[in-house]
Structure 1
Amino acid sequence: MEADILRGQYVDPSDKTTVVEYARRWAAGRAHRPTTTRRVASLIKTHTAATPLGSRRLAAVVPSEVQAWAADRAKVLAPSTLRNLVGLLRSIYAAAVLDRLVGRSPVVRVSLPSAHRDRVVPLTVDQVRALAKAMPARNRAMVITQAGLGLRLGELLALRVQDVDFTACVVRIEWQFAPQSKMRTAPKTPRSRRIVPLPQVVADTLHGHGADYPPADDGTVFTTRFAGPYRHDYYGSLIFGAAVRKAGPPKSITSPRCAP
């Protein structure tokens, strides 16, 4: 024990910190983006605190328990989400080792189901036009713009008039709206901030949209009838989702990404 203390490797066997207690403490000390903070908190609450593993003493957990926990979570989570969850637990235990609350991490050699991703199939020109036609008049330009510029949903909703350079035929993608937020934030990675070409069909569409539906005071191009920006869930699920069902594109289609 004295040797471990001198080497800085001593672990207090009487410490009763539980997995979920340390997980929350770990999450509170991380400098995460707001969206990541919400996601991490949700994973800890739903898939750690609500499971037997969460109430276990941090230092008492063994690899077989982690494997059993992962197998149980695999029943309710997609393979990619499960991998993120196990990666989160691995990071939590790595921090616990550094804090000398455990001697070693039990999150080792966890067997997980293979994560298969469907091939992304872009919409054809005709499919983009059909989808735009199925949208309410106020939202048709959003389909053409997203398809023509290859924007993520948050980038589309945050697009401003000042981001569009009609003279140079380019668009600066510098902002996004995160889910459940109407506040502009920088994209997640520096590479996401980019300049993309402005196709003529998108330029014409934006001109027509601006004439019919003026931008908001802050320059937001696409606004609701109350002159405010759209939220992810309202536009993506209610408006866009309804148009997809109406237009009836193939099930293999995931999102419009080609310029008409």
Structure 2
Amino acid sequence: MSSIKKLNKSGPKAASYKACFTLGSGARRVRRSKLVKTKREAQSWLAEQSLKYPNMNTVWRRSLRFEDYYKLWFKMERANVVEPATADTYSVTLSHLKPFFKKGIGQITNMQVQSVFNALGKTLSHATLLKDLSHLRMMCRAAIRKGDLSYNPCEDIDLGGNNARIKPYEKKFMAVSDLRIIQDFLLKYSYEFTDINRLVIFICTQTAMRCGEALALRVDDIDCKARTIRVDQSYDSAHSRLKVPKTPTSNRLIPISSECANVLDGWIVQHQKWLQDAKISNSKGLIFLNKRGQLPTAKNINSSFHQLQKRLDINPIYTVHSLRSTLASLMVEQGVPVTYVAKALGHAPGSNVTLKYYIDVLPSAVQADREQAVKVISSTGESGTSGRSS
């Protein structure tokens, strides 16, 4: 029988509790123990041990607070199968939910979950609520499988969301005239070793690549003669690591203009010389290593992009990802098939991601449509109609 014993020890590093785990009897009996500082730690450890033995009673897991159960579930079922960046989203979900769920998961009701998401919807976007609910629902389904819950309280939840948290249309899509100003400036710019951030932005303006994909480019990925760029990895700047793309379709070959190829050809030669002079090792052949032998972060790139917009008298409201959305819409507007655009962006065939998030009417087209609508409305009485009013 498992138990928790309180110890009479003092001192800042002294353990206050001893968790004792026991399963079976006789020669097959399993006995384990652990010294911890708090009763919550002891409960969590016993709950973790119980998950390792299918026939173990669920009492220790059911006694856990929501926060501890969530952490245990993530550790046992999700931590080893998700990328670090994805793991961060689970932590964010917990930070949103733990102020509301103070007791054990067995006491969570459907009405309570709905009430919690109603409250969260006042400050969080619909997309964030959807992700939080997805994580909570997965945890509850796992709890049902383990016998810790009899039903899933996360089903049939209506989600709202704060529309103010959604990126405004004006920030997502750049005016084509502004895009051309930026492209022209970066194409004619003379790049130095300190201009790595600007060159990353230049690549994004020419390819619609993700910022992380551009940062991960190597010398071997650039074929200036064939005028192509190969994408087969990405840089996760939040965790300072190169990683393979989330989906196989992100591995792709992107065509570039001869002007873009010339800029990259010159940069690669000069960059290698700069690294050699600075005695910086570059065993992976990365083309955007800086003077510290590191890759810049996505945050650095966006900061440089905002500075560039100010320099060019453009309202600094756009992120580097806005370039991707704008270029995707521009390609479709100019007659490039959506299927090709999806492939160029690295989206899966048949996916709605391209149409849902990246394709929209560009600002110039919106203005033209507005003017046409006003013209039609204002000239209604002049178009040969009977002129009768109702």
Letter in 1 for 2:107: A
Of 247-256 and 197-206, deviating more is: 247-256
Deviation, structure 1 residue 183: 2.1
Letter in 2 for 1:233: K
Tell me what 1:94 maps to: 141
Contact 1:179 1:231 in 2 (8 A): yes
In 1: Cα distance, 2:116 partner to 2:237 partner: 29
Tell me what 2:156 maps to: 109
Deviation, structure 1 residue 181: 3.0
Among 164, 173, 176, the alignment partner of 1:121 is 173
In 1: Cα distance, 2:114 partner to 2:183 partner: 48
Identity of aligned residues (%): 20
Counterpart mapping for 1:167-178 below 5 A: 167-178=225-236
Deviation, structure 1 residue 247: 3.2
Contact 1:165 1:171 in 2 (8 A): yes
Contact 1:79 1:112 in 2 (8 A): yes
Contact 1:123 1:253 in 2 (8 A): no
Residue deviations 1:10-38 (CA, integer Å, cap 9, x gap)? 98699322222221111112111111112
Normalised by the length of structure 2, the TM-score is 0.56
Among 225, 229, 243, the alignment partner of 1:185 is 243
In 2: Cα distance, 1:145 partner to 1:189 partner: 22
Gaps of 5+ in 2: 1-54, 276-280, 331-390
In 1: Cα distance, 2:204 partner to 2:132 partner: 31
Deviation, structure 1 residue 233: 2.1
Letter in 1 for 2:159: L
In 2: Cα distance, 1:89 partner to 1:152 partner: 29
Instruction: Tell me whether 1:210 sits opposite 2:271 in the alignment.
Output: no
Instruction: Tell me whether 1:23 sits opposite 2:70 in the alignment.
Output: yes
User: Over aligned residues, Cα RMSD in angstroms?
Assistant: 3.0
Letter in 1 for 2:137: R
Deviation, structure 1 residue 80: 0.8
Tell me what 1:241 maps to: 306
- Counterparts in 2 of 1:79 and 1:179: CA distance versus 1, 3 Å: farther
In 2: Cα distance, 1:106 partner to 1:225 partner: 53
Letter in 2 for 1:92: M
Tell me what 1:5 maps to: none
Contact 1:164 1:170 in 2 (8 A): yes
In 2: Cα distance, 1:13 partner to 1:108 partner: 25
Gaps of 5+ in 1: 1-7
Contact 2:174 2:323 in 1 (8 A): yes
Deviation, structure 1 residue 118: 5.2
Deviation, structure 1 residue 240: 2.3
Instruction: Tell me whether 1:52 sits opposite 2:117 in the alignment.
Output: no
Tell me what 2:295 maps to: 229
Give the length in aligned residue pairs: 246
Q: Which has the higher contact order (CA 8 A, sep 6+)?
A: 1
Structure number with bigger Rg: 2
Normalised by the length of structure 1, the TM-score is 0.81
Contact 2:85 2:239 in 1 (8 A): no
